[in-house]
Amino acid sequence: MSTGPVLDIRELTTRFDTRRGPVTAVDRFSLNLGSGETLGLVGESGCGKSVTALSVMRLLPRPAGRIAGGRILFKGKDLASLPESRMRRIRGNEISMIFQEPMTSLNPVYTVGFQIVEALRRHRRMHRRAAREEAARMLSLVGIPEPGARLNDYPHQLSGGMRQRVMIAMALSCRPAVMIADEPTTALDVTIQAQILDLMNRLKAEIGMAVMLITHDLGVVAETCQRVAVMYTGRIVEAADVRTLFRRPAHPYTVGLFQSLPQIGGRQGRLKPIPGAVPSLLRLPPGCAFQERCFRSDGQCRQDPPWTAVGPEHWARCWHPMEVST
């Protein structure tokens, strides 16, 4: 399927300077994204998914946030050290991003058409007329009826679902190689969610891009992704293809995630929330960050657990992964 990764993140570390000290929101994060692949990045709220995405885009809130280490290789360039002016030519052009909040992500004082045309003119050096035609084409591509008329609409005249379609149209207008979608459906109601996910699946094939889909919803992952990585307190704790992860999760945290969900992957039984709470990033225990909540932890877990191959293309960061051999 792939001809080598289009995005190769190696040991990415992102820190925030806060009043209570430095916080490592993303910790030695390594992951690659094959071209044309959809990869799911899952984990509870606050585990560092958005910060990972913003690091790749180099859109971390300044001055608090900064990439403190690692490399982000895209088409042979390291985005982590690219000058801002060159990064600007990549953003919205070769890598684009859509956000969780369709209601607030579009500028209220400009028409939808203006905001799409702006991206096209910036990166494609298109003339106004041509850019408007292209913008209308994008709107029809994302399933917005009467695209020519909608170009003149202001964001507040559109529903949340429609706005997210506009965001997608805008993000895809320059045919990026990679799209990062940060919880694109979380703020939408269920029927609209399904429509947007369908749309993203279709467009991904049409444009031939790779997608990094960030979500805390394993159901969304099951429907859209080929591979999935699970994050906990800034680190990837497990990675596998979707079928493997859903059938035989190896990391105790992933197991806990499934047990706390109703009927994912046909798994029946009582809901069992993971005991305890996610520890503060300011006070992580030495070794495995999950140890205080883990049903398999022992003294060894106070050492940093190794990134262990537990099956073909299946890894877990754990001293005592679940038995996954077939």
Partner 1 sequence: MPLGYIAKRLLQLVAILFGVSVVVFLMLRMIPGDPAQLLLGEFANPEELARLRTQLGLDRSLPLQYGIYLQNLLQGDLGNSIRTNTPVAAEIWGRLLATLELSLAAMFISTLVGVGAGVVSAVRPHSAWDYGAMFFALVGVSMPIFWLGLMLIYLFAVKYPVLPMMGRLPMGLEVPAVTGLVMVDALLAGQPVALWEAGRHLLLPALTLATIPMAVVARITRSAMLEVLNKDYVRTARAKGLSEAAVILRHALRNAFLPVVTVLGLNLGLLLGGAVLTETIFSWPGLGRYVVDSLMGRDYAAVQGCILVFAAMMAVINLAVDLIYVLLDPRIRVNE
Ligand X SMILES: Nc1ncnc2c1ncn2[C@@H]1O[C@H](COP(=O)(O)OP(=O)(O)O)[C@@H](O)[C@H]1O
For the CB of residue 265, give the shortest distance to ligand X in the complex, in Å. Answer: 22
In 3D, which of 223, 232, 175, 172 has the Cα closest to residue 201? 223
45 binds ligand X (CB under 6 A): yes
Among 10, 28, 73, 118, binds partner 1 (CB under 8 A): 118
All residues at 6 or more sequence positions from 108 whose CB lies less than 8 Å from its CB, including other chains = 154, 155, 156
227 binds ligand X (CB under 6 A): no
For the CB of residue 314, give the shortest distance to ligand SF4 in the complex, in Å. Answer: 15
Number of neighbours of residue 9 by Cβ within 10 angstroms: 24
DSSP-derived 3-state class of residue 308: strand
DSSP-derived 3-state class of residue 219: helix
Number of residues near partner 1 (by CB under 8 A) = 30
64 binds, among partner 1, Mg ion, ligand X, none (CB under 5 to 8 A by kind): ligand X
55 binds ligand X (CB under 6 A): no
Q: Return the structure tokens found at 323.
A: 């038995």
- Amino acid sitting at position 196: I
Among 6, 57, 131, 237, binds partner 1 (CB under 8 A): 57
89 binds partner 1 (CB under 8 A): yes
296 binds, among Mg ion, ligand X, ligand SF4, none (CB under 5 to 8 A by kind): ligand SF4
252 binds, among Mg ion, ligand X, ligand SF4, none (CB under 5 to 8 A by kind): ligand SF4
Q: How far apart are CA 245 and CA 314, in angstroms?
A: 8
Q: Which 274-303 residues touch ligand X, going by CB under 6 A?
A: 281
Q: Which 207-246 residues touch partner 1, going by CB under 8 A?
A: none
Q: What pairs with residue 179 in β-bridges? A: 96, 211
Q: Would strands 21-34 and 5-18 be described as parallel, antiparallel, or unpaired?
A: antiparallel
Only one of the segments 43-51, 84-92, 115-123, 302-310 lies at the binding site for ligand X (rule: CB under 6 A); that segment is 43-51
Binding residues for ligand SF4, rule: CB under 6 A, are: 251-252, 288, 290-291, 294, 296-297, 301, 305, 318-320
Q: How far apart are CA 216 and CA 48, in angstroms?
A: 11
CA distances from 178 to 7, 14, 35, 130, 230 (A): 8, 21, 8, 24, 20
Q: Is 106 exposed, middle or buried (0-12, 13-18, 19+ CB in 10 A)?
A: buried
For the CB of residue 59, give the shortest distance to ligand X in the complex, in Å. Answer: 11
125 binds partner 1 (CB under 8 A): no
Among 40, 48, 92, 161, binds partner 1 (CB under 8 A): 92
Q: Return the structure tokens found at 146.
A: 């009467």
Q: Return the structure tokens found at 178.
A: 């990679």
105 binds partner 1 (CB under 8 A): yes
97 binds partner 1 (CB under 8 A): yes
Q: Can you say whether the dihedral through the CA atoms of 14, 19, 21, 25 is positive or negative?
A: negative
Residues that bind ligand X in the complex, under the rule CB under 6 A: 16, 18, 23, 25, 43, 45-51, 61, 64-65, 281
Residues that bind partner 1 in the complex, under the rule CB under 8 A: 57, 59, 88-93, 96-97, 99, 101, 104-111, 118-119, 122-123, 154, 156-157, 167, 170-171
